[in-house]
Amino acid sequence: MNYQKTFYYDDGKTIYAIEEYDLKTGKRIKETYYDDDGKTKRFFIEYYSDGKLNKSTWFREDGKKIDSITEYDPQTSKITKKTWFHKDGKTINCITEYDLEKEAPIKETYYNSDGTIKEEKNFFINI
């Protein structure tokens, strides 16, 4: 079971964000942020049960179609992978993988709209 905290824009009526917490641990498990209409989702952030970052999901202007998802390492909360989607919000456009130690991209894979691989790029990191 969870409980929520709701935050509002300056007008005191329009929802800015909703934070969800685990009732047992008191740890934040999710944050959802909204456009200034208070209804259209901009993005949400999910947390592991220990409170560290899990992933963030960003939406296109309609608040429904996914623009991108960023995933984080459960130990360090550093970015491990970013996935960008085509305009349909479902088909993957590009995946960028990251080196945890250097926090830098190590590989990018681009996809065609039919889901087949278009191109792969590998990045070399200076030590």
Residue 64 lies in a domain: yes
Report the relative pairing of strands 66-72 and 53-59 from DSSP bridges: antiparallel
pLDDT score at 127: 59
Q: What is the pLDDT of residues 40-76, one digit of tens each?
A: 999 999 999 888 999 999 999 999 999 999 999 999 9
Residues 6+ apart with CB under 8 A from 32: 17, 18, 20, 41, 43, 44
Residue 38 lies in a domain: no
User: What average pLDDT does the segment 27-47 reach?
Assistant: 96
**Which of 84, 88, 80 is closest to 53 using CA atoms?**
80
Of residues 127 and 17, the one with the higher pLDDT is 17
pLDDT in tens, 90-111: 999 999 999 988 889 999 999 9
Q: Which domain holds residue 65?
A: 52-127
Under 8 Å CB-to-CB from 124, ≥6 apart: which residues? none
Residue 57 lies in a domain: yes
